[in-house]
Every structure is written in structure tokens, then in C-alpha cells.
Amino acid sequence: MTERTITRADLSEAVYQEVGLSRNESAVLVETVLEEISRALIGGETVKLSSFGTFAVRQKNQRIGRNPKTGEEVPILPRRVLVFRASHVLKDRINTEKAQKGIHESS
């Protein structure tokens, strides 16, 4: 199985192929959606995409960590982290697709 990264250009091309907008309009649409998601997350909002998943920002408190090379204790500063929770629909689709590929590959 080869791993591939989906880029903004790939998303724009998919919109172009599926929706029929021009390539330029498709790129603008993808950029607008990604910008709106980013804006909401920066503002502390949760972004829920039905049948896909939920993006949220979580606050992590300061804690003590260790330098793996020296073992020295170092403080890890408080920060906000992005978390993603896949929907059950997406999880089911991933597992169904994986199971079907496994059946086809072993045949």
C-alpha cells in the first residue's frame, strides 16, 4: 500500500471534476473553506463536519517533561493544540474500505 498526501491542488482538482466549477473557482472555493475552518479554530470555536468529524482546540497546561538525551527535566509551556475526532460514519467507511481491499488483495 502506497501512502500519498492529498494537497490543496488535489482538493481543487476534485472540486473541478465533481462540481464543474472552473479550476480557478474550484481553487478559490477550497481556499475559502479552509480559511473559514482556520478562522473558527483560531477563535476557539469547534468545527463539526457531519459524517466526517470534529476539529477542536484544546488547552494543555504547563507540565514537566524530560530531555530524552540527557534525562534533564524541562518545563513544557502551556499551549493550545488542535484535536480531530473522526465521526462514526468515517470510521465505519475506513474500516469497510480496508476490509474490502484486504479481501481483494488476498484473492
pTM of the model: 0.75
pLDDT tens-digit map of 73-100: 999 999 999 999 999 999 999 998 766 7
Residues listed for the chain: 107
Give the Cα separation of 83 and 81 in Å (integer): 6
Give the Cα separation of 72 and 19 in Å (integer): 55
What residues have CB less than 8 Å from 49, skipping those under 6 apart?
A: 55, 87
Give the Cα separation of 15 and 103 in Å (integer): 31
pLDDT tens-digit map of 8-23: 999 999 999 999 899 9
